[in-house]
Structure 1
Amino acid sequence: METLLLAEVEVMLERYIAATNTHDFSEVAKLLHEGAVYWFSDRTCTSRAEIQAYFEHAWNVVQDEVYSALDVQWIAVDEHAATCIYTYHYEGWINGRQASGKGRATNVFVKQEGVWKLIHEHLSSLE
C-alpha cells in the first residue's frame, strides 16, 4: 500500500512540474486544491487569483523558464496527505540574459474525492 501511495504522489509532483512548465496557469489550476496557499520568499498568496497573478508575473519576468525539482524527499505520505521537500531550480532569460537560480521547496498534497491536489507550496530562495 505504501509503495502505491508513494508512486501516486510522485506522479502528482511530476504532473505539477510539467503543468508549471507549460506557462499556462489553467494547466496549473487543474492540480490545485480550492484552498491552496502559497508562501513565496516575498509574498503569501491565499486565493486562486493571487496565485495566478504571481505565476504569470514570474513567467513574464523569466522568459522561457524551465522549472525542476531536485533531490525530492517524501517526508510524510498516507492515504489522505503527502508532503515533500526538494531543491527547486529554474533557468530562463531575464532582460535578454540567461539566468538561473535555486531554492528550497515544500509541497503538501491532499487527496480529495480520490484525486491528489496541491494545497500548499512554500518556496524560499537559496541565492
Structure 2
Amino acid sequence: MTPQNTMKKYERALASQDWGLVEPLLHKDICVTFSNGTYKGLHEVKSVFESNFASIKNEKYTISNLHWAHISNTSAVCLYEFNWKGMINGELCSGGGRGTSVLIFEDEQWQIMTEHLGLNAS
C-alpha cells in the first residue's frame, strides 16, 4: 500500500460513515483538528467522528486536488480539498474546505498521524 492508496481508502471509509473502516487507517496517536477543536488519540477521534456520522445522514464525502508536498519511505504530507453534503435534521446541508494530512509508515502500513481541516480562504 502507498500513501496515495491510503488516502483513497480514507476517502471511501469516511464516505461510508463506518468507524470500523476508518480506524485501521489512523495511527493510535492520531491528532485531528476540526473547526470546533482538536482531538487527540483514537478514543477522542472516534467520539467526534461517530458524532459527525450520526448527525449527517446520506452523506457524500469527497477529497480532491491532492498535492503531495512530501513523500519518503517513512512519511508523507498531503494537502487537499474536501467537500461533503448530506441531511442534517431533515435539511440538505453541505460544506467543505482544505485539509492537510500527515501519514507515517509504521508496522508495515501507512497510517494517518494527523489531520487538519479548515475552511477555504475567501
Tell me the TM-score range normalised by the shorter chain.
over 0.9
Deviation at 1:23, TM superposition (A): 1.1
- 1:114-125 matched pairs, under 5 angstroms: 114-125=108-119
Identify which of 86, 94, 102 aligns with 2:96: 102
Which residue of the partner structure matches residue 54 of structure 1? 48
2:38 equivalent to 1:44: yes
CA distance in 1, matches of 2:58, 2:5: 24
Structure 1 residues not aligned, in runs of 5+: 1-6
Deviation at 1:93, TM superposition (A): 0.7
Deviation at 1:30, TM superposition (A): 0.8
Superposed structure 1 runs of 4+ greater than 4 Å apart: none
Deviation at 1:109, TM superposition (A): 0.5
CA distance in 2, matches of 1:110, 1:88: 21
Alignment deviations for residues 55-91 of structure 1 (CA, whole Å, 9 cap, x no partner): 1111122111121111110000000100100111001
Structure 2 residues not aligned, in runs of 5+: none
Which residue of the partner structure matches residue 14 of structure 2? 20
TM-score by length of 2: 0.93
CA distance in 1, matches of 2:79, 2:33: 14
Deviation at 1:113, TM superposition (A): 2.1
CA distance in 2, matches of 1:47, 1:119: 10
2:64 equivalent to 1:70: yes
CA distance in 1, matches of 2:54, 2:83: 17
Alignment deviations for residues 22-62 of structure 1 (CA, whole Å, 9 cap, x no partner): 21112111111111111111111102111011111111221
For the aligned residue pairs, the C-alpha RMSD in angstroms reads 1.4
CA distance in 1, matches of 2:32, 2:106: 19
- For residue 86 of structure 2, what is the amino acid of its counterpart? G
CA distance in 2, matches of 1:121, 1:47: 12
Which residue of the partner structure matches residue 84 of structure 2? 90
